[in-house]
Structure 1
Amino acid sequence: MTDTATLCPCCGQLNRCAQATADAPVSQCWCFSVKVDAQQLANLPPEQRNRSCLCPRCAQGLPPDSPLLAD
């Protein structure tokens, strides 16, 4: 069973967040170098903002089957 902290709240896929699976703060994650699409954050329900990690595609505002702009 997958922990919900590791799932993207937009698409339900794995978010690949280093912090979601770490017991302590991390110094590197894919999201540290990607500009997160403001509209994707605005679309999140208030209870998920600053609590759930987007996957790389959703963070960039891309459809689930599109290639990543940065990884």
Structure 2
Amino acid sequence: MSVTVDKALPNHSCPLCGGPNACAAAESGKLDTPCWCRDVRFSAELLARVPEPLKHKACICAACATKSST
């Protein structure tokens, strides 16, 4: 059984840079959709940079995730 994402969640834009985040769950509307981000570890420091109104509502894009790990 798949879970349907509320239309407001997640957002298609990165909360840090505003660019597209390529979120497969947002695209399909299902949380169990395979996505690039499942294999990435986001640091606490990176997650802390997400503005409060966007926490748990938008996925960080691969470019921002990669920048933070270098």
TM-score computed with the length of structure 1 as normaliser:
0.69
Ranges of 4+ aligned residues in structure 1 off by more than 4 Å? none
Aligned residues: 60
State the Cα distance separating 1:16 from its structure 2 match.
Answer: 0.8
Q: Deviations over 1:14-38 (max 9, x none)?
A: 1011011122223310110011122
Uncovered stretches (5+) of structure 1, i.e. residues with no partner: 64-68
Question: Of the candidates 26, 38, 42, which is equivalent to residue 36 of structure 1?
Answer: 42
Percent of aligned pairs sharing the same letter: 33
Q: Letter of the aligned partner of 2:64 in structure 1?
A: C
Q: 1:1-71 to 2 correspondence within 5 Å? A: 5-60=11-66, 62=67
TM-score computed with the length of structure 2 as normaliser:
0.70
- The structure showing larger relative contact order (alpha-carbon pairs under 8 Å, at least 6 residues apart) is 2
